Chains A and B, each alone.
Chain A
């Protein structure tokens, strides 16, 4: 089955700096890679996703890149703001079974004003 590794587990940046979170996956059949943001005490919510037929996707200050050969994908947040502080989870769709999402352990991002 799929296994997803996520790094770093914690990340602290100054407001305005960029933040990068990296994930690797094991199942070469995986074809869908979403990122979820979970603010303190709130539910995880999808912020961006990428499918295996593209290498990069951007939405305002956030972008995701995918390297299928190396089986890794990354989340990039530019011009960080205090409201970006949250736990970010990457996930990969399991290439087998029902195509369920397998999550990484999460990265706690702190943006200091």
Chain B
């Protein structure tokens, strides 16, 4: 399979649950990202990984914990979330050239609902 794939596509969890979102890219890119998409808000950058090292964390609450075991896989571990965390979580990858981000290729997203 090519491109960026995310699983699960839909997730419903309680505030005390622990779950994980998974992202896999087959494009040979060297950077991966987590974005949060809420209604009527811009796409919010959450985490950036370059060459498997986290280079940016835009003040995301600690209840979101990313993991990048290799350049093709990215996880977002979720625990003790709040209802306002309900959103579409988009994974993306790109080819990072120096300090410039190339075109972002997005996955289909994981729709998260926190009850």
Contact = CB atoms under 8 A, between A and B. Distances in A.
Interface string A72-113: 000000000000000001000100011111111110000000
A103 B42 contact: yes
A51 B45 CA distance: 21
A103 B55 CA distance: 19
User: Binding site of B, secondary structure by majority: helix, strand, loop or mixed?
Assistant: strand
Q: How large is the interface on B (under 10, 10 to 19, 20 to 34, 35 or more residues)?
A: 20 to 34
Contact of A46 (B33, B96, B103, B107): B103
B52 interface: no
Contacts of B40: 9, 105
A44 B90 contact: yes
Contacts of B100: 32, 93, 99
A100 B43 contact: no
Interface of A: 4, 6, 9, 32, 34, 36, 42-46, 49, 89, 93, 97-106
